[in-house]
Amino acid sequence: MDSLMDISNIRADFPVLDQQVNGSTLIYFDNAATTQKPKSVIEALSHYYQKDNSNIHRGLHTLAERATTAYELTRAKVRDFIHAPSSDQIIFTSGTTAGINLVAQTFGRSTFKAGDKILISHLEHHSNIVPWQMIAEETGAIIEVIPVDETGVLDLDAFINQLDEKVKLVAVNHVSNAIGTINPIAKIISLAHAKGARVLIDGAQSVAHIDIDVQTLDMDFFVFSAHKLFGPTGVGILYGKRELLASMPPYQGGGEMIKEVSFSGTTYNELPYKFEAGTPNIADVIAFGSAIDYVKSHGTEVLMKQEQALLAYATEKLNAIPGLRIIGTAPEKIAVISFVVEGIHPQDLGVLLDKFGVAIRTGHHCAQPLMQRYGLVGTCRVSFAFYNSLEEIDRFIVALQRSIQMLA
């Protein structure tokens, strides 16, 4: 395929890929769960602990100043990466899940009342379902689900019919982690805003593959995790419109999120610190800045082109295997393929593939309602990153066919 880039130098940037697993060279096809980390990210993490380890913002000594500068530089890099208007609209969290819970427990608790509606989709990860169920139970709000068709595409006609003046929030993912569908979020946001509803977009699966411009898309809230973007675990981002963040009460109390504390009352800090109580995950935030630099050095569009070529090639190969059925065939997808094989449990395939050094994901992918929609207990999921290759796909297909024969 002419569209594929030369990845030999890129693969050398990712030390974890250069190893044997069960006697075979590792094939890592579990990128939707977490991406691998380039050496620059690993080195940034090590450098902080070796040279700059200190708490941030409150210290006046040199180490504290260096750590604070590096930490806040990552905030600025995130701002530029998603085209946010200001760094103070970038809130550091522990991950996508934490960002959604923050919005649910602050915006949701202060906004929703009995009879209000929250729209979520059938494609959602549990982290974009359960927090809304919890706040709905507390406030009396009602959750409605946007249906999905057999191919994995949201039913926008149904969505339009669901939108009315009672809808206060639409919470949908940009991309399905389970089947790879890319949702038309620009249209979803526009339709929701026309009815006066706010929108939260879960970008966990899109941010590493699609250029994000929160201003052009007019997003109210956008959440994602660093570890899906070749960065460390334990770091997430919440972007919000300034007027919304300013009106929302603090999520947690403690140090850093305050200006003054007395026993008679507390004055809260300004944005973004109002939502960042306590000592943060300093080292991993700083290392995340290096991950953003790495992605920008290649360009998201270039990486997406590579992954789309891998998706097309793997889809063709998998469709040729008798008894195998791909779940989720939306025309717009990222490089994620979920599949089942007639008469074989996904977990059994996953265990056998690991014996050949192939890492895939099996199960319901924290999307049980979607699995139930298709009448499945789970699927096998392969997900590609730009450091994967056609040769790896060929080896995977051979291993898969051998595994199927062993289990038949």
Q: Which CATH number belongs to the domain containing residue 385 in this structure?
A: 3.90.1150.10
State the catalytic residue, choosing from 134, 244, 366, 407.
366
Structural domain boundaries enclosing 151: 42-296
Specify the pairing of strand 221-225 against strand 198-202: parallel
Q: Is residue 37 part of a domain?
A: no
Q: Tens of pLDDT along 346-360?
A: 999 999 999 999 999
Q: Tens of pLDDT along 118-142?
A: 999 999 999 999 999 999 999 999 9
DSSP 300-331: HHHHHHHHHHHHHHHHHHHHTSTTEEEE---S
Phi-psi region of 43 (alpha: psi -120 to 50; beta: other; left: phi over 0): alpha
Give how many domains the chain has, as a whole number.
Answer: 2
User: CA-to-CA distance for 168 and 45, rounded, in angstroms?
Assistant: 41
User: CA-to-CA distance for 375 and 372, rounded, in angstroms?
Assistant: 5
Is residue 249 domain-shared with residue 380, that is, in the same domain?
no
Is residue 228 domain-shared with residue 154, that is, in the same domain?
yes
* Mean residue pLDDT across the chain: 94
Per-residue pLDDT, 264: 66
Cβ pair 337, 380 in contact under 8 A: no
Exposed, middle or buried by CB within 10 Å (0-12, 13-18, 19+), for 42? Answer: middle
| Domain termination residue (choose one: 296, 328, 348) | 296
Is residue 153 domain-shared with residue 247, that is, in the same domain?
yes
Per-residue pLDDT, 2: 46
Q: How far is CA 320 from the centre of its chain?
A: 31
User: Of residues 344 and 8, which shows the higher confidence score?
Assistant: 344
Is residue 132 domain-shared with residue 112, that is, in the same domain?
yes
Q: Is residue 261 part of a domain?
A: yes
| Domain termination residue (choose one: 272, 296, 320) | 296
Q: Tens of pLDDT along 298-345?
A: 988 888 999 999 999 999 999 999 999 999 999 999 999 999 999 999
Reported as a pLDDT band with limits 50, 70 and 90, residue 84 is very high
Question: What percentage of the chain carries pLDDT values higher than 70?
Answer: 96
Q: Across the strands, what pairs with 200?
A: 171, 221
User: CA-to-CA distance for 330 and 346, rounded, in angstroms?
Assistant: 22
Q: Is residue 190 part of a domain?
A: yes
Q: Is residue 2 part of a domain?
A: no
Reported as a pLDDT band with limits 50, 70 and 90, residue 87 is very high
Is residue 100 domain-shared with residue 224, that is, in the same domain?
yes
pTM score, whole prediction: 0.95
Is residue 319 domain-shared with residue 250, that is, in the same domain?
no
Is residue 304 domain-shared with residue 344, that is, in the same domain?
yes
Cβ pair 222, 192 in contact under 8 A: no
Is residue 283 domain-shared with residue 397, that is, in the same domain?
no
Check residue 186 and report its DSSP letter: H
Q: Is residue 36 part of a domain?
A: no
Q: How large is the average pLDDT for residues 211-224?
A: 98
Is residue 365 domain-shared with residue 227, that is, in the same domain?
no
Specify the pairing of strand 167-173 against strand 117-121: parallel
DSSP three-state, residue 119: strand
Q: Which amino acid is at 263?
A: F
User: CA-to-CA distance for 133 and 375, rounded, in angstroms?
Assistant: 23
User: CA-to-CA distance for 384 and 82, rounded, in angstroms?
Assistant: 22
Is residue 81 domain-shared with residue 168, that is, in the same domain?
yes
Per-residue pLDDT, 408: 84
Q: Tens of pLDDT along 269-289?
A: 788 988 988 889 999 999 999
How far lies 322's CA from each of 221, 343, 375, 395, 408, in Å? 44, 12, 20, 18, 12
Is residue 176 domain-shared with residue 288, that is, in the same domain?
yes
For residue 225, is pLDDT > 60? yes
Q: How large is the average pLDDT for residues 220-245?
A: 98
Residue 380 appears among annotated catalytic residues:
no
Per-residue pLDDT, 1: 44
Is residue 289 domain-shared with residue 306, that is, in the same domain?
no
Q: How large is the average pLDDT for residues 224-241?
A: 98
Per-residue pLDDT, 270: 81
CATH number, domain with residue 201 = 3.40.640.10
